[in-house]
């Protein structure tokens, strides 16, 4: 063991306060970045899950309507009445539906809505989606009738899911046509 004066090499052991502050700041920035990315991935996953629930529900309802139309078309004279009595407002199934896992928007009691369009004069802008409207729904050669609920050969239907996603309104629309012959 040597006793004596400290050399310059001995005084440079350890980290300075500035080096420690820089290392801590770098570590904190990295942790915050990872936390923000994890949170965003969780939110994106939740949004994708909700969209999948809505997509599956809307398409299942559209398939049920299409199947009901095929069955009801065996009686062309009552086809429109059967569809309206089943999926119209106040129908046996009704014009709205629940989607498990989704919260209805404020002012709505249910997430899903079925809109059966019986007015040939409605435009795509009025409906809120591209369906090629106005369109001749009863096959009389014009698209001027405002109510074809008695003699339609084809119906335009819009199945929509509207839900709240962390306070933001989200929706999914599925337009379709069904035929009565």
In this predicted structure, the answer to whether residue 12 has a pLDDT above a threshold of 80 is no
- Local structure of 141: helix, strand or coil: coil
Q: With beta carbons less than 8 A apart as the criterion, state whether 107 and 134 touch.
A: no
pLDDT digits (tens, 9 = 90+) for 40-59: 898 888 888 999 999 999 99
Q: Which residues does residue 155 pair with via DSSP β-bridges, in sequence order?
A: 178
The reported pTM is: 0.78
Q: With beta carbons less than 8 A apart as the criterion, state whether 172 and 54 touch.
A: yes
Spans of all domains in the chain: 15-179
Q: Residue 11's pLDDT band (boundaries 50, 70, 90)?
A: low
């Amino acid at each position: 063991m040597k006793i004596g004066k400290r050399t310059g090499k001995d005084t440079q052991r350890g980290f300075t306060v500035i080096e420690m502050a820089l290392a801590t700041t770098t570590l904190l920035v990295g942790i915050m970045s990872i936390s923000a990315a994890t949170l965003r991935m969780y939110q994106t996953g939740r949004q994708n899950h909700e969209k999948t629930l809505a997509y599956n529900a809307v398409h299942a309802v559209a398939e049920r309507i299409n199947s009901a139309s095929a069955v009801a078309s065996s009686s062309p004279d009552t086809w429109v009445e059967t569809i309206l009595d089943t999926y119209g407002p106040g129908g046996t199934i009704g014009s709205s539906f629940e989607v498990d896992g989704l919260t209805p928007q404020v002012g709505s009691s249910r997430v899903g809505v079925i809109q059966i369009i019986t007015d040939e004069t409605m435009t795509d802008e009025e409906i809120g989606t591209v369906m090629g409207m106005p369109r001749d729904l009863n096959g009389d050669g014009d698209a001027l009738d405002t109510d074809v609920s008695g003699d339609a050969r084809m119906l335009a239907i819009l199945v929509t899911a509207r839900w709240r996603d962390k306070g933001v309104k989200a929706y999914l629309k599925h337009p379709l046509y069904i035929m009565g012959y």
